[in-house]
Amino acid sequence: MSTQKNSTALQPDFSRSLAFTLAAAIMLIPANLLPILTSDTGGVSRIDTIYSGILGLFESGLWPLALIVAAASLLIPFIKLGGLVVLMLAARRGPSPHARRLTRLYAVLDFIGRWSMLDVFLVAFLTSAVRFGALSTIRPGAGIVAFAAAVVLTILATHAFDPRTLWLQPHRSSTTPSQ
């Protein structure tokens, strides 16, 4: 019994990181489908999802901002999820000649994670800055809450993953002598 307890203690545990990653992936569905912003300007109401907001920015001639929002809202979350899956699979297999590159991938994922909050800050800024009473109003939608949850969950998933496991030898319980 003690051998079994010791063998599981030496194996990398990805359950927390995997749970956060799966939860983030699930939250990205409503984040991309639900409205993130509702604006009323001069009697014209507009409801935007992430995708329609990016298209609206392009159509308004704000293509640099549209590219930044597209990268922060679409690319980064999905790259982060894919990167986390790659890291967990690689660590589960044990050390590889690519451990150094995988460790760099972890550092990059850790760094870019907080930049996905750009959308949340943009909606918060617009909501607080655009207060013209009857002329214009902006209200955050449920999609931005789901998006913020997805971003926080990817950050938690990254922090729950231990990059040292990329360098560990996989533990084989069948080779451990029983006592």
* Contact between 110 and 17 (Cβ < 8 Å): no
Say if residues 36 and 119 touch (Cβ distance below 8 Å).
yes
Cα separation values, 107 from 32, 103, 113, 155, 156, Å: 26, 6, 10, 12, 14
pLDDT digits (tens, 9 = 90+) for 29-67: 999 999 988 888 777 888 889 999 899 889 989 888 889
Domains of the chain (ranges plus CATH)?
Answer: 13-168 (1.20.140)
> Tens digit of pLDDT per residue, the chain (179 long)?
444 444 444 456 788 999 999 999 999 999 999 998 888 877 788 888 999 989 988 998 988 888 988 888 888 889 999 999 999 988 887 777 788 899 899 999 988 877 777 777 777 777 666 665 557 777 888 999 999 999 999 999 999 998 888 887 655 544 444 44
Listed in sequence order, the residues at least 6 apart from 32 whose beta carbon sits closer than 8 Å to its beta carbon are 49, 50, 51, 74, 143
In this prediction the pTM is 0.78
Query: What torsion, rounded to 10 degrees, do the Cα atoms 167, 173, 176, 179 define?
Result: 130
